[in-house]
Structure 1
Amino acid sequence: MSVRAGPETRWTAGTLELARGAAAFPVERDMSFDLLFLRHRTLAADIVRGFRADVVHITGPSDVGILGAWVAHRLHLPLVASWHTNLHEFGAKRLEKVFAWLPPDPRQDLASFTERGILESCARFYRLARVLMAPNPE
């Protein structure tokens, strides 16, 4: 089965689509994050339980990934995580663009500080998993 964000909340053909709501904000032009996505936790846990899943696989610390980690914990299922994006680098580069008006040295210091913080947060999140896969050769 698959769980993903979709235009509406529905369960069909082995796919649970969960709608993002008013608390969602854009992260990138084709990506958003819903601060209240965990409102779907009961429905998601019930469907995963009914599916009789053996494991939960998440692909990152997105709203869907956080929900997946919660479901795995709640149902006492092993969590497998995949590292697909270097979010720390992405975040630092985005921040540098936002603060382009700052002089180079403070802007770089801010970006470096942010990159370290994001990396530590991601590492903490991925440590929740029993298995971590990093498909990138980096």
Structure 2
Amino acid sequence: MMITKIPSQGAVVSLIVSPAVRFVALLALCAAYIQGPLTKLFDFQGAIAEMEHFGLHPTAFFAVVVILFELTASAMVLSGFLRWLGAMALAGFTLLATFIALRFWEMPFGLERMMATNAFFEHLGLSGAFVIVAAIDVAKGASK
């Protein structure tokens, strides 16, 4: 029987706090906020239709603002430039969008409601993760 060595806690911590892992984790957190506006850019009519679907008028204005906002806030989180502000902005945006787009409590019971409910709570988790990123960034700045 072969016994494999479990990496020490120090090695695991070193990996977790490495700049590469941190960047990949932040990229994963921002992925939807990069993919979404890029999709809107390549299908602007679809972006306008999405704004119309959610009752946001003027539709073209809101489409442009959402595209610029998501890309800018994501760049702030990824670059570290005012990371806390970008993260808090994405947390607030996600929370607001969640209550606009995923109103599961208004849906009849069934698959669509179940999927909207799951997405609603996943988005709450995203908002919470962005708040944690902001808190860590602020605390790191305060410790300098």
* TM-score clears 0.5: no
TM norm structure 2:
0.38
Which of the two has greater helix per residue? 2
TM norm structure 1:
0.39
Which of the two has greater strand per residue? 1
